[in-house]
Amino acid sequence: MHATLPSTRAVAAAASRASLGVTRAAANAAPKPVAPTVARRSVFLASGVAPLLRLAGASSAVSYASAASARGASANSEIAKVLLDPKYPDAFPFGEKEMQRYDESSDFVFYAQPRFVKHIDDDAIGALTKYYAEVFPAVPKEGDDKVALLDVCSSWISHYPAGYEASDNLRVSGLGMNEDELKKNPILTDYAVRDLNEDATLPYEDNTFDVVTNAVSVDYLTKPLEMMKEVHRVLKPGGLAVMSFSNRCFPTKAVSVWTATGDLDHIWIVGAYFHFAGGFQGLAAEDISPKPGKTDPMYVVFARKEA
């Protein structure tokens, strides 16, 4: 199901052809996400080097080995171990080069046509929904404190568990690229249309949300550090941020550091977004893949805003 990592030239050629098709016919249905990277191994680990440390030029070690996870996740999995001692450098290691994409045309053009499709398979969706059910605050009952959730890069479906939908005590906000898709999302209390690659600010007050989620979209962000700082700002103290992803993407729109690396590197990359944004605690990762090797993989990187 998941092919061996193709050569850089092959990926670039395929991406260029796909990008040209999008530019010429933006109104047509978009290509389905593909898996451009190896399923579970890092292209750097294959040569015996820790994830992305050569790219980062790591000079200092920061350990999260004692960090509290969102649900007491095991620290023994290959995925979880990446963030136990990530050895992040002193400065944010990604610049303009790493954030470049094959298709630099406006994202509003790419996402102009609504796509009422699922970007990961049903097993992966089920695994994410189950994970959400374990880490979200309980659905508030009458008389309980209000709960607020934000789905960043939202669409017509948020993969939230049953019961998490707009009510007097539960706010579910969505921010995405296509208004038609957001209008179809049945659980949202409110929505906002925004291209975070043009304006990485979130249109919400400080300390608003108990949970912020981002599902299978973090790989498209060209201003991830700015966005993560905004996630921190809008979270309540102690609030949870969850970034989830698989190994599938629209390769013309994913940033270059993502398409050039493997799943373990992706954990390190997203962890770096949290780390360098600052103000988070308990940074950790978990492999929630439902049937490894048989279905789409599913990973989460998460942390809480310092209280």
Residue with tokens 């049945």: 186
Amino acid, res. 224: P
pLDDT at position 32 is 53
The two structure tokens encoding residue 89:
């450098």
> What share of the chain in percent tops pLDDT 90?
62
Chain centroid offset of residue 271 CA? 11
Residue 35 and residue 28: Cα distance in Å, rounded? 21
pLDDT digits (tens, 9 = 90+) for 249-272: 888 889 999 999 999 999 999 999
If you average pLDDT over every residue of the chain, what do you get?
Answer: 80
Question: What is the pLDDT confidence band of residue 10, given thresholds at 50, 70 and 90?
Answer: very low
**pTM: predicted TM-score of the whole model, two decimal places:** 0.80
pLDDT digits (tens, 9 = 90+) for 70-112: 554 555 689 999 999 999 999 999 999 999 998 888 877 766 6
Residue 218 and residue 53: Cα distance in Å, rounded? 20
pLDDT at 65 over 70: no
The domains of the chain, with CATH numbers, are 8-305 (3.40.50.150)
Cα 285 to Cα 15, 127, 240, 241, 247, distances in angstroms: 29, 15, 13, 12, 15
Amino acid, res. 62: V
Residue 32 and residue 29: Cα distance in Å, rounded? 9
pLDDT digits (tens, 9 = 90+) for 112-154: 676 645 678 899 999 999 999 999 999 999 899 999 999 999 9
pLDDT at position 43 is 44
Question: What is the pLDDT confidence band of residue 248, given thresholds at 50, 70 and 90?
Answer: confident
Residue 13, phi then psi, degrees to nearest 5: -65, -45
